[in-house]
Amino acid sequence: MKKAIPTPKKPWQPTALDKLEDLLIVLAAFGLAGASVKFTGLDGKLGFFFSLFFALLVLNFGFHYLKRGTAAAKDSLLQVLAVMAIVITLIPIVSIVATVFSKGYKGLHWGILTKDMALASVNDPIANGGLLHALAGTIIMVGGALIISFPIGVLTALYLTEIRGPLARPIKFLVQAMSGVPSIVAGLFILSSLIYPVTKQLSGLMGSLALTILMIPTIARTAEEMLHLIPNELREAGVALGGTQWRTVAGVVLPAAKSGLVTAIILGIARIIGETAPLLLVSGGGDAVNLNPTQGAMGSLPYYIWKAFLTGGTEEAFARAWGGMLVLLSFIFILFGLARYLSGRKVG
Amino acid sequence: MTTAHAQPASLANVAAARTLSQPGTALLGTGLETRGVHAWFGKKHVLSDVTLDFAAGTVTALIGPSGCGKSTFLRTLNRMHEFIPTAAMAGEVLLDGKDIYSPGTDVTKIRLRVGMVFQKPNPFPSMTIGENVLSGLKLAQLKKENTDDLLESCLTRAGLWNEVKDRLGEHGGALSGGQQQRLCIARSLAVEPQVLLMDEPCSALDPGSTFRIEETISELAKSMTIVIVTHNMQQAARVSDYTAFFLSDGGPGEMIEAAPTSRIFSSPQDKRTEDYVTGRFG
């Protein structure tokens, strides 16, 4: 006769009472903060948040001190500080996203993804023109930069982690230094080394090259960190099975680092997708759709936003700029979501 | 007794040669008891209904094939089980008669009283040998006078003092695997636990180091309760007073039999225990 199986429990998780206590502490902190804004010199949102955080810290520490002693109180203090850090981190992000959405939707209309600004000016009614040229330009230039930077960045990382050649140290230093290069310098470099002496015209390709200079260090550094995380045992196992170094890297090391490499791509794109300054110099900012990266000025979303803000002045121009930001932000979200989804899928 | 089954004489003799530690000196507390312990990882039921007593001042060995739940069981004894996010459990674990899972229990205090030595030696890499031994005091925020004496006594009890007394300022990583494991034992002794849990402490060590750790275990058993998970039945026969055999038939792991070690190795009551200790499977 088998005994009945009891239900699985998690006695270590906070009980309903614990949760209620925490909730009461938060509510009390809100109450204190409200009171301090009302009755003391503290004022406005900043004063409210300051006293809220302070009240939360003190109440939480005091409660856990009385309940379970100093050590537990310090433990919960750290938890409160960590939660606060998250909140402080989130405030600007949430605020930016919320502002962009609330102001940006006015700049949207059905034609925004099918029309360009060739026959419209930034001060025209919103329904005139669109940002197809800017979106296309951004996709072409960022895509081009990614196609050039990713292999170079990953190969650099492989040189640093797998080949570990004699130049590894200085290269590591250089890559680090390169990630601090101001973006305008990258633009000027392309301008003076390629555009003036060779091509003698602005183009999307030049934009890609300028962005590449900014993107390679980010990708190389991130990929290097990710490859360092791969345990050496895997490399040894691959080589011990008779694999060459190249086969081991391609068949074992890189697949194991796959999601890390996607992170490298994401960080690389994040580094460049909002760049305005170098593009201003080397790809200009056409108002018409230009799908040929080798010839002529090419628009981009940051340039579109910049131009609407700077050369406009009417309500329509501002709405256009916010609309451009909304499109850029959504584009980035979709891109990153897609990258995460693809890298999260199981290999093979 | 041994004639009924074809036992390997050595194991039964080894086990019989031990003098059984007398359990239950009042000084050591009443020991550790489990009542109907179950464990889950997510939906998977990995351990079913284990009721077992560990008398104070004794050594109990948990044996059984891989995946039978004995390590999981060990980790429920000092609440390390809950460190895995999907983990769940049922039943009671009584330390001196009090359930360590009852609400309001301070889990850090439990782990202070029930120490643990892991399968892989894991000295803290940023600390010297001396700092490693005393790290528990720092982490648990205990104040101690005369840490030098404590350092020496812990290392002596772990059987490492003579080898490291001139190099206490070196980093733990410089030691051999066996020395590192004894350093980890010394580290867990510094906070003076009542119970010491050992999860296959010798599986990564050479015979010499294993021998020294077994000596250490016998020495420690005079002052604390020890529970050791081991795949090495020779070791179980050599160091333990009691042995519990765990097995999983594809479902959750169960405790098949628990008895004084000499009986497990000479006249086990269950056919499956006999098959396992005679090496017919597992």
Task: For residue A119, tell me if it sits in a domain.
Answer: no
Task: For residue A5, tell me if it sits in a domain.
Answer: no
Here the CATH number for the domain that contains residue B86 is 3.40.50.300
Cβ pair B249, B219 in contact under 8 A: no
**pLDDT given at position B35:** 92
For residue B103, list chain A residues with Cβ-Cβ distance below 8 A.
Answer: 11, 15
Q: How far apart, in whole angstroms, are the C-alpha atoms of residue A306 and residue A131?
A: 13
Rounded to an integer, the average pLDDT of B223-237 is 91
For residue B107, list chain A residues with Cβ-Cβ distance below 8 A.
Answer: 12
Residues A94 and A235 in one domain: no
Q: How far apart, in whole angstroms, are the C-alpha atoms of residue A17 and residue A14?
A: 8
Asked if the Cβ–Cβ distance from B87 to A3 is below 8 Å, we say no
Task: For residue B219, tell me if it sits in a domain.
Answer: yes
Task: For residue A155, tell me if it sits in a domain.
Answer: yes
Residue B259, classed as helix, strand or coil, is strand
Residues A34 and A180 in one domain: no
What range defines the domain where residue B238 resides? 2-120+194-277
Smallest Cα–Cα separation from B226: which of B57, B80, B77?
B57
Rounded to an integer, the average pLDDT of B176-191 is 91
Comparing CB atoms, the residue among B45, B102, B103 nearest residue A5 is: B45
**pLDDT given at position B7:** 46
Instruction: Report whether pLDDT(B23) > 70.
Output: no
Confidence of residue B26 (pLDDT cuts 50, 70, 90): very low
Q: How far is B148 from chain A (nearest CA, A)?
A: 25
The two tokens of residue A215 are 């993107």
Q: How far is A8 from chain B (nearest CA, A)?
A: 5
Comparing CB atoms, the residue among B38, B82, B88 nearest residue A5 is: B38
CB neighbours of A202 closer than 8 A, spacing ≥ 6? A195, A282, A283, A284, A296, A297, A298
What range defines the domain where residue A61 resides? 18-106
Q: How far apart, in whole angstroms, are the C-alpha atoms of residue B278 and residue B282?
A: 10
Residue in the block written with tokens 């895995």: B84
Asked if the Cβ–Cβ distance from B82 to A12 is below 8 Å, we say yes
B49 at interface of A, judged by CB pairs closer than 8 A: yes
> Hey, of B34, B38, B98, which one would you mutate to test binding to chain A, going by the most A CBs within 10 A of its CB?
B38
Instruction: Report whether pLDDT(B25) > 60.
Output: no
Structural domain count of chain A: 2
For residue B45, list chain A residues with Cβ-Cβ distance below 8 A.
Answer: 5, 8
**pLDDT given at position A2:** 57
CB neighbours of A173 closer than 8 A, spacing ≥ 6? none
Q: Which residue of chain B is at minimal alpha-carbon distance from A4? A: B49
Q: Mind listing the pLDDT tens digit for each residue in B113-156?
A: 999 999 999 999 889 999 999 999 888 888 888 889 999 999 99
Strands B195-199 and B87-95: unpaired
Residue in the block written with tokens 């290999």: A347
Task: For residue A118, tell me if it sits in a domain.
Answer: no
Cβ pair B5, B267 in contact under 8 A: yes
The two tokens of residue B20 are 């059984």
Q: How far apart, in whole angstroms, are the C-alpha atoms of residue A255 and residue A5?
A: 42
Confidence of residue B29 (pLDDT cuts 50, 70, 90): low
Residues of chain A with pLDDT under 50: 1, 346-348
Asked if the Cβ–Cβ distance from A72 to B82 is below 8 Å, we say no
Residue B90, classed as helix, strand or coil, is strand
Using CB atoms and an 8 Å cut-off, which of residues 112-151 of chain B contact chain A? 141
Q: Mind listing the pLDDT tens digit for each residue in B76-91?
A: 999 999 888 899 999 9
Q: How far apart, in whole angstroms, are the C-alpha atoms of residue B250 and residue B264?
A: 23
Select, from the ranges A139-153, B239-253, B254-268, the one with the highest average predicted confidence (pLDDT).
Answer: A139-153
For residue B36, list chain A residues with Cβ-Cβ distance below 8 A.
Answer: 3, 6
Q: How far apart, in whole angstroms, are the C-alpha atoms of residue B3 and residue B278?
A: 14
Task: For residue A3, tell me if it sits in a domain.
Answer: no
The two tokens of residue B131 are 């700092």
**pLDDT given at position B255:** 93
Task: For residue B171, tell me if it sits in a domain.
Answer: no
Residues A194 and A255 in one domain: yes
Residues A101 and A150 in one domain: no
Q: How many CA atoms lie within 13 A of A69 on its CB side?
A: 8
Residues A262 and A148 in one domain: yes
**pLDDT given at position A347:** 44
Q: How far is A64 from chain B (nearest CA, A)?
A: 12
Asked if the Cβ–Cβ distance from A11 to B102 is below 8 Å, we say yes
CB neighbours of B84 closer than 8 A, spacing ≥ 6? B41
Average confidence score pLDDT of chain B? 86
Cβ pair B188, B160 in contact under 8 A: no
**pLDDT given at position B3:** 41
Task: For residue A6, tell me if it sits in a domain.
Answer: no
In Å, how far are A230, A231, A233, B26 from A252, measured between CA atoms? 10, 11, 11, 58
**pLDDT given at position B18:** 67
B106 at interface of A, judged by CB pairs closer than 8 A: yes
DSSP per residue over A189-242, as a string? Answer: HHIIIIIIIII-S--HHHHHHHHHHHHHHHHHHHHHHHHHTS-HHHHHHHHHTT
Instruction: Report whether pLDDT(B282) > 80.
Output: no
Residues A169 and A209 in one domain: yes
> Hey, of A2, A5, A77, A78, which one would you mutate to test binding to chain B, going by the most B CBs within 10 A of its CB?
A5
Please report the number of interchain residue pairs, chain A to chain B, with beta-carbon separation below 8 angstroms. Answer: 38
Q: Which residue of chain A is at minimal alpha-carbon distance from B48? A: A5
Q: How far apart, in whole angstroms, are the C-alpha atoms of residue B230 and residue B198?
A: 9
Burial of A107 (0-12, 13-18, 19+ CB in 10 A): buried
Task: For residue B95, tell me if it sits in a domain.
Answer: yes
The complex's ipTM? Answer: 0.71
Structural domain count of chain B: 1
Q: Which residues pair with B253 in a beta bridge?
A: B47
Task: For residue B133, tell me if it sits in a domain.
Answer: no
